[in-house]
Amino acid sequence: MCTAATYKTKDFYFGRTLDYEFSYGDQIVITPRNYAFNFRHVGDMKNHYAIIGMAHVAEDYPLYYDAMNEKGVAMAGLNFVGNAVYAAIKPDVENIAQFEFIPWILSQCSSLVEVRELLERINIVNTPFSEQLPLAQLHWIISDENESITVESMSDGLHIYDNPVGVLTNNPPFPQQMFQLNNYMYLSPKQPRNTFCENLTLDAYSRGMGGLGLPGDLSSSSRFVRVAFTKVNAISGESEEESVSQFFHILGSVDQQRGCCEVADGKYEITLYTSCCNVTKGIYYYNTYENHQISAVDMHVENLDSDKMICYPVIQGERINYQNK
Ligand SMILES: C[C@H](CCC(=O)NCCS(=O)(=O)O)[C@H]1CC[C@H]2[C@@H]3[C@H](O)C[C@@H]4C[C@H](O)CC[C@]4(C)[C@H]3C[C@H](O)[C@]12C
């Protein structure tokens, strides 16, 4: 399971949890403007917008999971198992392999308006990266500071949905996820009033009772409602520290602890990492299951005119701040 969310204070923030039972070996990867992307079916792109995100690197190629570009567009791929279907190659369209989708969009779009234009000509195709790294069944959230969309490639074609709540999890398809929010419109951060029966004396005996009924389990539809409720009600100061901290708290509402979601005998899904992109400033923040300290990589500290990928290892291991030794 995975969850993605957007958040706006003074700057625009975008991030995700990546939940799985093992890591593919991830790094924070910057592809500067002159790193050549060799797209399988549409040829080479020698220069483009710079990109930073979490990726698995194979054959000197960044297989991004989530990323943003220097122009303020961000996107993430989340599992969509059993529903994602990629097309065969077609003439007169831009055939982009599933693993190329993030670089294709982020290398050339400076806004969601441009993303929508590019998506009119795209065909997401079923070309695998390699035998060892076959197709991943994903859907995507793409955002700038003004709007978000969800992209789902299914057996009946490519769907592009407005995503007015700015969150995404996994199955079922996005329209069903949005529809179920109707069931929770009574939820509120305020204390409830007794509308049950005026002749009964009912007591709001605990704080937080306006949220009674918010689903607490780890299923993707429950996480969708929970992170949506948390995100739309979350209040933060405008400073970078307050905003980043609040963003991690929002995704903390759907954090997965080892042992609570068994995926095979003795194998458990956990939140391997949580990311928070300051999309306005190009800073990639993250923490991991084993390291709660927030680490960051700022793309603008690097030479973004380079033609070589720049990689930073994910820092693991808890760093505990002893106060008396
Ligand atoms: C497993 C990840 C998704 C996590 C997730 O959504 N879990 C939910 C599980 S479930 O639905 O609830 O069952 C996905 C997100 C991005 C994926 C990676 C990226 O797409 C990049 C490449 C793409 C290659 O085709 C396969 C390897 C890969 C390196 C992918 C491996 C894996 O499928 C990743 C890491």
Place of tokens 């963003």: 247
Helix (H, G, I), strand (E, B) or coil at 180: helix
Tell me the percentage of the chain whose pLDDT exceeds 70.
100
With a cut of 90, say whether residue 56 has pLDDT above it.
Answer: yes
In this structure, the residue with its CA closest to atom 18 of ligand 1 is: 65
Q: Considering the chain, what is the average pLDDT of its residues?
A: 97
Q: Residue 65 CA: which ligand 1 atom is closest?
A: 16
The DSSP secondary structure of 58-94, one letter per residue, reads ETTEEEEEEEEETTS-EEEEEE-TTT--PBPP-TTSE
Among 95, 152, 83, 149, smallest CA distance to 127 is for 95
Strand partners, 76: 66, 141
pLDDT at 3: 98
DSSP state of 315: P
List, for residues 227-269, the tens digit of each pLDDT value: 999 999 999 999 999 999 999 999 999 999 999 999 999 999 9
Place of tokens 């949905």: 161
2 is catalytic: yes
What is the CA(307)–ligand 1 centre distance, in A? Answer: 27
Output the ligand 1 site: residues, CB below 6 A. Answer: 1-2, 18-20, 24, 56, 63, 65, 77-79, 81, 99, 129, 133, 135-136, 138, 170, 220
List, for residues 23-32, the tens digit of each pLDDT value: 999 999 999 9
What is the CA(36)–ligand 1 centre distance, in A? Answer: 24
Sign of CA dihedral 283, 287, 293, 295: negative
In this structure, the residue with its CA closest to atom 6 of ligand 1 is: 79
Taken as a whole, the chain contains a residue count of 325
pLDDT at 223: 98
Residue from 2, 109, 276, 277 carrying the catalytic annotation:
2
Q: Identify whether the C-beta of residue 21 lies closer than 8 Å to the C-beta of residue 263.
A: yes
In this structure, the residue with its CA closest to atom 27 of ligand 1 is: 133
Please list the alpha-helical segments (H only) found in 143-279.
174-180, 220-233, 240-252
> Which of 21, 22, 54, 63 to mutate for ligand 1's pocket (most ligand atoms within 8 Å of CB)?
63
Q: Identify whether the C-beta of residue 288 lies closer than 8 Å to the C-beta of residue 264.
A: no
What is the CA(136)–ligand 1 centre distance, in A? Answer: 6
List, for residues 115-139, the tens digit of each pLDDT value: 999 999 999 999 999 999 999 999 9
The pTM is what? Answer: 0.97
Q: Identify whether the C-beta of residue 3 lies closer than 8 Å to the C-beta of residue 223.
A: yes
pLDDT at 1: 62
- pLDDT-derived band at 325, boundaries 50, 70, 90: confident
- φ/ψ of 143, rounded to 5, equals -140, 150
**Would you put residue 82 in left (φ > 0), alpha (ψ -120 to 50) or beta?**
left
pLDDT at 201: 96
